[in-house]
Amino acid sequence: METITWNDFEKVELRAGTIIEAVDYPEARKPAYKVKVDFGEFGIKWSSAQITKHYTKEELTGRQIIGVINFPKKQIGKFMSEFLVTGFADENGDIVLAALERPVPNGSKLI
């Protein structure tokens, strides 16, 4: 494990956002959804997320998540991902979303 400085950590824009839409992404190599997230003052952004094992599209809508919003955009197939959805792999390697204990304003930074 590499040690980083506090300044390194402060550069990562981990922000709260609310999922406003989740749609199937059948072109993805691994099962995934496209998620549209409202990050408040940082705007509405899209990403793909391999979270189909634990979540339905319907239960994702309205859920607040944590995303990294200052990575460069990434081309995933024909889709341009604008942020990174954060989560943890369970014992089977399936992703469980990083979650907030209570609602916070969209765009709030993890500190």
Q: What is the CATH number of the domain that holds 26?
A: 2.40.50.140
In a domain, 108, yes or no: no
In a domain, 31, yes or no: yes
Whole-model pTM over 0.85 = yes
- How many structural domains is the chain composed of? 1
In a domain, 73, yes or no: yes
Residue 95 · residue 33 · CB < 8 Å: no
pLDDT value for 40: 98
Nearest of 32, 85, 37 to residue 61 by alpha carbon: 37
74 is in which domain, residue-wise? 13-97
Tens digit of each residue's pLDDT (9 = 90 or more) over 53-76:
999 999 999 999 999 999 999 998
In a domain, 109, yes or no: no
In a domain, 93, yes or no: yes
In a domain, 103, yes or no: no
In a domain, 1, yes or no: no
- Report in angstroms the alpha-carbon separations of 47 from 6, 43, 75, 85: 27, 13, 10, 7
pLDDT value for 108: 98
- Mean pLDDT over 16-20 rounds to 98
In a domain, 44, yes or no: yes
